Amino acid sequence: MGEPRVLSRWGVASASRRARAGGALAASAIAAALAISGCGRGGRAVDPAYRAEVEQWRAKRLASLTSETGWLTVVGLFWLHPGENRFGADPGNEVVLRGSGVPPLAGTFEVRPDGAVLARPRPEAGVTLAGQPVPDRPLRSDAEGKPDVLSLGSARFFVIRRGGKAAIRAKDTQNPARTTFKGIDYFPIDPAFRVDAAWETYARPREVLIPSTQGPPQKTVVPGVARFELAGRPYALEPYASSPDDPEFMFVFRDATAGHETYGAGRFLDVERPAGGAHKLVLDFNYAYNPPCAFTAYATCPLPERQNELPVRIAAGEKFSGH
C-alpha cells in the first residue's frame, strides 16, 4: 500500500480512508435500496451505489499497494545495533540493500547512545533525501510521523521503531513482487456482512502486549468491545488503537476461512471511532483486508488475540492466494 496512514507501533498502512466523499451510506438507505439490482453471495441484492463505493475503495487500495511506496516494494527489515551499521549491496553488511545502482558499501548508520539514528553515506554513493544530500542530523522515524526516506538507485530505505528498537525498512521499486503482481482476489460483495454492532467503551482502556510477525511484541490500547450477530449467533471483537483517543480503530481478527481461503494469520478491518460517545458502530467485513505480511516477509504485523478468533466463516473482503 501507499501507507496513507500508519499505526506507528506496527507500520501498518490503514485501509479505512475509503474516499467516501459523501460519507458512508446509512444502513437504512442500503436496506431500502437492496432490491434495485446486482446480487451478492446467495442471491442477495446489492445496492449499485454501495457496490460502487466498495469497488472504488478496492481500486484505491490496489493502486496504493502497487505504487512505488507500496508494500510490494518491501525487500528487507534490518534491526540496528548500537554504533555503526554498514549498508549497501554487499551481503556482509548489517543492512543489505537490493536494487539497481546500489554499490557494495554505500555508508553506515550510526546508532547513538540515546537511540538516535544518523546516516553517514559515502560521498560517492549518491544517497539522497528528497533529492538533496543527506543532512547531518538524526533521521526521523515512522514513529514520529512521516519518516525520512533515503534514496539510492531503485532502493528506498528509512528508520522504523518498534518496542524501543530501531530498524531499517528497505524497499526496491523494481521488486519482482511488485512488477509481476496479478492483483487481489475478493469474495463477492455481500450486504449480509455489513452488520450493526453494539459498542461498549471500557471504563479504563486495557493496555496489552501484542505479538507481531517480526520484531518485539508491541504495546497497544484496547478501548472497548464491539458485540454483533452473524446468522443469528452472537460474537464480539476488540479493536486495537494507538491511544485511548485514537479516532480510528483497527480490528485484527481471524475467522473460519483463515488458512485456506484467507490469510492464515488473520485480516484487518478499520472502523471510525463512534462519535460523541455513541454506542453503535458498523462492521463492514466487505472492507476486510490482508495485512502487509501477506505481501512481504518484512512487515511487523500485529496478530489477533484469542478473543478475536471467530468460529464463523466470514466470506467477505479479501481472499489470499499465496502471494
What are the tens digits of pLDDT across the range 16-35?
443 333 333 333 333 333 33
Q: Does any domain span residue 188? A: yes
Q: Does any domain span residue 314? A: no
Interval 167-177: pLDDT, tens: 999 999 999 99
Q: Does any domain span residue 225? A: yes
What φ, ψ does residue 27 adopt, rounded to 5°?
Answer: -60, -40
Number of domains in the chain: 2
Tell me, yes or no, whether 153 and 83 share the same domain.
yes
Q: Is the pLDDT of residue 114 over 80?
A: yes
Which of 154, 179, 204 represents a domain boundary (last residue)?
Answer: 179
Which of 179, 210, 237 represents a domain boundary (last residue)?
Answer: 179
pLDDT-based confidence at residue 40 (cuts at 50, 70, 90):
low
Tell me, yes or no, whether 172 and 188 share the same domain.
no
Tell me, yes or no, whether 170 and 209 share the same domain.
no
Written as nine digits, the cell of 73 is 516494494
Interval 73-94: pLDDT, tens: 999 999 999 999 999 999 999 9
Tell me, yes or no, whether 117 and 75 share the same domain.
yes
**Where is average pLDDT lowest: 7-21, 131-145, 179-193, 214-228?**
7-21
Which of 158, 179, 200 represents a domain boundary (last residue)?
Answer: 179
CATH code (residue 155): 2.60.200.20
Q: Where are the beta strands (DSSP E) in 6-129?
A: 6-7, 12-13, 74-79, 83-88, 95-96, 107-111, 117-121, 128-129
Q: DSSP character for 306? A: G
pLDDT-based confidence at residue 125 (cuts at 50, 70, 90):
very high
Q: Which of 199, 247, 239 is closest to 220 using CA atoms?
A: 239
69: three-class secondary structure by DSSP: coil
Stronger pLDDT, 41 or 322, i.e. the higher one: 322
Interval 140-150: pLDDT, tens: 999 998 999 99
The pTM of this model reads: 0.82
What whole-number distance in Å separates Cα of residue 25 and Cα of residue 18? 12
Biggest CA–CA distance in the chain, Å, is: 66
